[in-house]
Structure 1
Amino acid sequence: MSTLEIRDLHVSVETDQGEEKPILRGIDLTINTDEIHAIMGPNGSGKSTLAYSIAGHPGYIIKQGSVKLDGEELLDKPADVRARAGLFLAMQYPVEIPGVTVSNFLRTAKTAIDGKAPRLRDWLREVKGSMKELRMSDDFLERNVNENFSGGEKKRHEILQMELLKPKFAILDETDSGLDVDALRIVSEGVNRVREANHTGLLLITHYTRILRYIKPQFVHVIVKGRVAEEGGPELAVRLEDEGYDRFLDPNEALV
């Protein structure tokens, strides 16, 4: 079993005026492999900031705290080192990479993570098997990464990466965003398949409970104004669906 431990994490961003704006104000989370943790909260509460800070995005300023994977501090390491240690981030808005095919991108990523190139025949068998499960046609491999992809194609590509790279921990930032019912089901089935096969720990960021009907968390954490406001089991997500976030918010205060 591996453990991802986040302690007293404070994160700021730089505004257009060159000032630092606090976003996270002391986050504590512990995630083990084989566990599913849902992160919920209103817009602007710091959910995506948490995801990108864990993954190593340079645009976020770590003020204090630690992020450790199996006891090893990650905050002083660049994103590629964190990825090789076992972290994976499925972005809410995956970027386009013109001129780079999906085929080249996936094999390059796998080589970087494992430190050696996979055997081509075995690799193609694995890639195409995963794509079949995700209802992706073979010609997808020759398209440029995320260029002119639909929302569903972008999210399926993220889960394809996750399945092939086999991380210890995967952070899924609003993977349900922009998906219709069929795409949501297919993507969720892919996430569950990867988690069960590799014992991956999941940090699932979402506004709504609809994805939680397919990917069932054991733990739910509500982040409001950069802090964990409440924690519980799956019943907490049901309560949030019924009641919303009003009870956490002061109507006279800004959200962050």
Structure 2
Amino acid sequence: LYAAMVAFMDKNGALEVPLRTCISAGEALPEEVGLRWETHTGTCILDGVGSTEMLHIFLSNRKDDLVYGTSGVAVPGYALRLVDEEGVDVPSGGVGELLVNGASAANCYWNQREKSRITFEGVWTRTGDKYEMRDDGRLVYCGRTDDMFKVSGIWLSPFEVEGALVSHPRILEAAVVAAEDADGLEKPKAFVVLKDGVADDALLAELKDHVKDKIGKWKYPRWIEVVSDLPKTATGKIQRFKLREEN
């Protein structure tokens, strides 16, 4: 929704609407969208993370402490950890699954004992989200645990590639999933929605070079497919598993 409104204002100018605060949650906010929104409206977007299991937003930016491209820091009353596959805490710069501890946590899932045992570990609740901890304590979203994949033995964040694609002036939305090349190795494949016009080979090559320049040569999408829209849940989360099924 924010991306669509920014694209509209890029063409038609800012809307004369008095705004005090804007909130984003559900799907991580791309840095480019936040920056352009603030340029048009003069109002920041506070990107945060919550979950049904926790009832409440537990990780967020705030007006006096905002860095686009990050999910911010813990909301007062909540404690956060990043752990690896063995449950060991991940140091700054590493990527791990986000665990949260707070009084608003659910007790269990109704009639789903096995899922409850996996998700609720004592005072800690597993979110299923992968994050990177920066040196300043801010958390950077990398993707859902089942959306992450390795390229040349290194974990790739689909969200990082998506953010690079969205920073291109022709792209409205993007989603990245793993696809196998001719050798059976996983490489990133992108699905993109254009703001206008149609794609040609020149644009697709330009997008690949754009990603290489923004985040690194090995992270660029080997394939790019232009679509009219992306599959989403009722709350706006991109359903990447549906895109994986199409490969």
Whose helix fraction is larger, Structure 1's or Structure 2's?
1
Question: Taking structure 2 as the reference length, what is the TM-score of the superposition?
Answer: 0.29
Question: Taking structure 1 as the reference length, what is the TM-score of the superposition?
Answer: 0.28
RCO higher in 1 or 2 (8 Å CA, sep ≥ 6)? Answer: 1
